[in-house]
Amino acid sequence: MVGYGGRRRRRALAGVLATALLAAGCGGGAAEEESFAESAQCQPYRDYQGNSGTTVSVFSSIRDVEGVHLEQAWRLFSDCTGIKVAYAASGDFEKEFQARVAGGDAPDIAFLPQPGMIPKLAADGAAKPASAATKQLASQNWSADWLAYGTVKDTFYAAPLGANVKSFVWYSPTTFEKKGYAVPDTWDDLIALSKKIAADGVKPWCAGIESGGATGWTATDWLEDVMLRTQGPEVYDKWVSHDLPFNDPAVVDALDKAGSILKNPRFVNGGFGGVTSVASTPFQTAGLPVLQGRCALHRQASFYATQWPSGTKVAEDGDVYAFYFPAVDPAKGKPVLVGGEFAVAFADRPEVQAFQTFLASAEFATARVRLGSWVSANRGVDLGAYAGAIDRLSAEILQDPKAVARFDASDLMPGAVGAGSFWTGMTDWIKGKDTRDTLDAIEASWKD
């Protein structure tokens, strides 16, 4: 059986070849380009035409194969409209983006994984309100909850781009079958499984929070996932809006519960060292010891599917797969921590508005989904478009009526906290700072 990674590579190659043939067919001059633009293949892009010969600059944190797939997903848009998309990405996106905006060098469009930045960008006049066409299409394809993240004081600025389910634990089905381990249904089952694996002589968990200028974000996900499970969505929302102080006893309880795994020397850090090694282990490679049997569990989002080595089969009967990070009390619903990016415009030229509108469409979302390792909450995407097992599982979870989904808290909080003191505070916590001091420091940094 051909692994998921192999199928994804073949699809990507097919996309490259198709694009090359398309470019060759359009390379015969203005007449042929005009003829192609009027072809049936370009029918879905007619509303975006009329701005040929222009360029839209886009800046993002999405790099490597994921960045290539994004460019492939909008290639037909460019070919049919004549609008060139100049795409750039950075591993230090947050710092570079804020520096560019402050220096008057903002991109035409940025894919922001922290919608909590949008209110300030709007207040400063940097972000531009989305066009009526973008708002209409986004309203058609996205739920009110998702649209609210891109709205400031009743003005719509940004439609969601991708989505990811963060409430996953990666594991090796082969190891589980060999050892007789069962996928846990509750938090207590998860702790019991961790103890059993530890008793078998293996550190059950591997983790890593190093991410350049964004070091610490994976640790914030742990607190957010546990906070949602222990306190419920209403309290979680109050925490995000700072109606609940960051050092409230509810947050203390949640962080200590996360620490019962993440700071437990019996449980971490399989394949890397002790607890403090979590701070220096890159998040991209943190889960790889699962394949080598040096750990059994790795909590990370759906997008981690792209981090496994080439040829790794990601499937329920494959080399690796993932299960839902279990609820503390399943009777209270199915808490799901989600993340995603929002396409924010910093220019309102016609070509920029056209591309921003296209990004809110089912055509773009479906094109990207079919390339693999991408999930969208866009209601215009059929589940049949998902080729990858984890992508499809993520989409099913997002559509589960029992799901109680909440966006990543750090991405909703003001940038100075969510992408600042929260990240650094959790890094200090991993390195040995106690829970109360950690949360007190983050609370002190929050300026209302």
pLDDT in tens, 221-254: 999 999 999 999 999 999 999 999 999 999 999 9
- Using alpha carbons, select from 246, 204, 241 the residue that is nearest to residue 223: 246
31 pLDDT tier (thresholds 50, 70, 90): low
Residue ranges of domains in the chain, CATH in brackets: 8-163+339-393 (3.40.190.10), 168-337+401-445 (3.40.190.10)
Per-residue pLDDT of 317-343, as tens digits, reads 999 999 999 999 888 789 999 999 999
27 pLDDT tier (thresholds 50, 70, 90): very low
Over residues 268-284, mean pLDDT: 98
pLDDT computed for residue 23 by the predictor: 42
Is the pLDDT at 105 greater than 50? The verdict is yes
At 354 the three-state DSSP class reads helix
Over residues 274-285, mean pLDDT: 97
33 pLDDT tier (thresholds 50, 70, 90): confident
Question: Would you state the structure tokens that stand for residue 432, as one six-digit string?
Answer: 């040995």
At 131 the three-state DSSP class reads coil
Is the pLDDT at 24 greater than 90? The verdict is no
Is the pLDDT at 403 greater than 70? The verdict is yes
Is the pLDDT at 201 greater than 90? The verdict is yes
Is the pLDDT at 16 greater than 70? The verdict is no
Kind plus residue range of the DSSP H or E element containing 422 = helix 422-431
pLDDT computed for residue 378 by the predictor: 93
pTM, to two decimals: 0.83
Ranges of H-type helices in 209-248: 217-241
- Using alpha carbons, select from 338, 422, 391 the residue that is nearest to residue 145: 338
pLDDT computed for residue 331 by the predictor: 82
Per-residue DSSP letters for 255-322? HHHHHHHHT-TTT--TTT-STTHHHHSBTTTTTTHHHHTS-SBEE--GGGGGGSPTT--BSTTSSBEE
Using omega within 30 degrees of 0 as the cis cutoff, is the peptide bond preceding 264 cis?
no
pLDDT computed for residue 29 by the predictor: 60
Is the pLDDT at 270 greater than 60? The verdict is yes
pLDDT computed for residue 7 by the predictor: 29
Per-residue pLDDT of 108-163, as tens digits, reads 999 999 999 999 999 999 999 999 999 999 999 998 889 999 999 999 999 999 99
**In terms of pLDDT, which residue wins out, 12 or 426?**
426
Is the pLDDT at 13 greater than 70? The verdict is no
pLDDT computed for residue 22 by the predictor: 40
Is the pLDDT at 21 greater than 80? The verdict is no
Question: Would you state the structure tokens that stand for residue 69, as one six-digit string?
Answer: 């797939």
What's the chain's average pLDDT? 91
pLDDT computed for residue 360 by the predictor: 98
